[in-house]
Amino acid sequence: MSTTEVDELLSTGEAANLLGVSRQHIVNLCNRGALPSITTGSHRRIRRRDLDALNPSPTPDQRRSWLLGIATAAAVLQDPDGAIDLAKTNLDTMRAAHGDRAARWLDEWDARLDGPLDGVIDALTSQTPHSAELRQNSPFAGLLDDGTRRTILATARR
């Protein structure tokens, strides 16, 4: 995890989106002292590391995404050059299709694909809310064959 990611300040709305809860729930957590926050002007901000430390139980979608991420990480490790090339091609397609809506996540994937392989593996396998969100915008579509994908999804349903 990069220093920038650890020190990133989030609005209550951004924190809520990452956890899949309401903004009011985040405000309530802050008011109870369960989630540390700081005030900048009249706005409350939450450090990403404090949000990640909450470590809520993953949703079924997040669990499926995590299991698929583990299998994807294994495929990346088997053929790093081919997997990274595929991901970069997919990123170009995703940028054209999604424009600015997913730019933040696509930019992060772009940086991870150009950096050490550890950053890619971490994003695919970590159970932090940030990694879960990153996997929702994964550029590794097509890396796993359909049979592997179906097996993992069946496993996730158990």
- pLDDT level of residue 55 (50, 70, 90 thresholds): low
DSSP state of 101: G
- What is the CATH topology of the domain spanning 3-54? Molybdopterin biosynthesis moea protein, domain 2 (3.90.105)
| Digit-coded pLDDT (tens) for 80-137 | 999 999 999 999 999 999 878 788 899 999 999 999 999 999 999 988 778 888 998 9
| Digit-coded pLDDT (tens) for 14-25 | 998 887 778 898
Nearest to 72 by CA among 157, 158, 148: 148
Nearest to 36 by CA among 21, 28, 46: 46
Is the whole model's pTM more than 0.75, yes or no?
no
Domain coordinates in residue numbering, the chain:
3-54, 60-157
Q: What is the pLDDT of residue 56?
A: 62
- pLDDT level of residue 53 (50, 70, 90 thresholds): confident
